[in-house]
Amino acid sequence: MRIGFVYLLLLAGLISSASAASYTFGVDNVTDGSSFWIHRQSATMKLDLSGSVEGDILPIAVTPAGRVLSPFLSGFADLAANDVRLRERTAALQGTYSSEGVVSLRSEAEADVNRTYFKPAGSDLWTITLEENWPVTLNATKTLDYIGKGINDRDCAGNNGDSVGASFLYNRELSRERNVAMRLDRLNATVVATNETIVRADVFPTRSTLYDITSHSTGIADLRYRQTDSRGDPINLGEERYTGTYDITRKVEMVLIYTNETNNTDWLSCCIGGCDDIDPCQLASWGEEGIFDCACR
């Protein structure tokens, strides 16, 4: 039996919390208990990564007695800087697999973060503002071709409240090409409060997100996007599912002056959210069952 081994793009732990810069901004109204808090974390850093993979996913014998490991491929990537995120999950069974990818991440967290507050005479209206200038640029391209027993491939790009992504599940044949370009310029927040309550709180990250995908799939193809306003409420939302054999071309571009901070609840709740408790380093424990139980849809 020929044993094939596939090495997959792996990105992990890009930002060390020990070296990161962060700040917390909060407003509490003592009268009614209303509050607004925001915590941001970033770092001044640079990441460039490129690679390609081509191979067969096959069983391999690991002992002289002939013990055979089931063939599988798995990998994930988590990139995050100042709420600009890219998450990728891939799990495949026996088959032929090839992939290429390029990632470029630039992040700065050196500029001052400024807070101002003002209450004019004759008014009980407080205006409290926050100004952050910690830019992030994240560009990533990836191509993938697979033929075999089955593959799940999912990704999600999130940028300070906006998100876009695709999930290809239970595909015996999958090819896709994806380009992501995200930029965060700055963040402004404004809280308006009286002595009685917090009247409103707006968070304005100036950001842009471009997501471009071309695919051929034979299983389930889910496409989603979400754009939020300055208070975190979705203002543009889309979700599509294609079951069967499809050729899909999609380009999403979101540019907003007033956007809200990313909700920590990821709408990709399955592998991305639901498998967060799986240690990505424990690859040996990821068997076929685990992978596809995780890819639950």
Partner 1 sequence: MAAVICILILQGASAVDMHFSASSGGESVSIWDHYDVDNSVEVSGQSSAGFSGGLSIDDSRRISGPGDVYVVQGYSGSDGYFGMNYIYAEDATHTLALGSAHLTPEALGAVQDVSISGAAESAVVSTGSLGGRGAMQHASVMDGSLDSRQTIDIDGAIVTSQDTQIAGFLPTAFGTAGYMDFNQGPGTLKIRGEGAGVAVSSIDILDGISEIDCNLAAGTGNSAWAYGDIRSATSDAGAVGAGAGAGKVNLDADFSGGIQGLYIDGYGEAAGVGIGALGVENKISGTLTARTGDGGTSASGTDIEASNNEASNKRGGVAAAAAAGNLGIGVDLQNGFIEGGAEAAGVGVGAVGRKNEITAGTLAAGTGSFGTESLGRKIEASNEEGFVVAAAAAGGLDGGFDFNSVEGTVEAEGAIFGAGATGKGNYIGVGRVRATTGNSADVVARDVEARSTEGAAGTGAAAGNVKIDLTGGTIARVTAEGSAVGAGAIGESAYAGADRLKAESGDSTEAVGRGLTASVEDGIGAGIGAIGATYDSDRPGSGWEVASVSGDLIGGGEISGNFHADTGQSATATANNVFAFGDDVYLGSHADDGRSSSDVDTFFSGVFADGRLRAYAGDSTMALQKGRVTGRFKSDVEAYSTDPLDHSFKDKKGNGVFDINMKAWTDDTGAYTRAKKEVV
Q: Can you give the binding site for partner 1, defined by CB under 8 A? A: 18-31, 37, 109-124, 126, 128, 193, 195-196
Give me the least distance between CB of 28 and partner 1, in Å please. 4
What's the CA gap between 273 and 265, in Å, rounded? 8
Shortest separation between residue 23's beta carbon and partner 1, angstroms: 4
Residue identified by tokens 């889309």 is: 238
The CB-of-273 to partner 1 minimum distance in angstroms stands at: 26
CA distances to 73, 105, 134, 248 from 182, in Å: 28, 10, 14, 22
In angstroms, what is the minimal distance from the CB of 31 to partner 1?
5
- Report how far residue 192's alpha carbon sits from residue 27's, in angstroms, rounded to the nearest whole number: 10
State the nearest-atom distance from the C-beta of 109 to partner 1, in Å.
6
Residue closer to partner 1, measured from CB, 115 or 251: 115
Name the residue with tokens 């593959």: 151
Residue with Cβ nearer partner 1 (1 or 111): 111
Q: Whose Cβ is closer to partner 1: residue 54's or residue 196's?
A: 196
When the beta carbons of 30 and 284 are compared against partner 1, the nearer one is 30
Both structure tokens of 120: 């004019």
User: For residues 129 and 259, what is the distance between their CA atoms, to the nearest angstrom?
Assistant: 15
Cα torsion 47, 51, 57, 62: sign = negative
In the bound state with partner 1, the residue whose beta carbon lies nearer, of 195 and 269, is 195
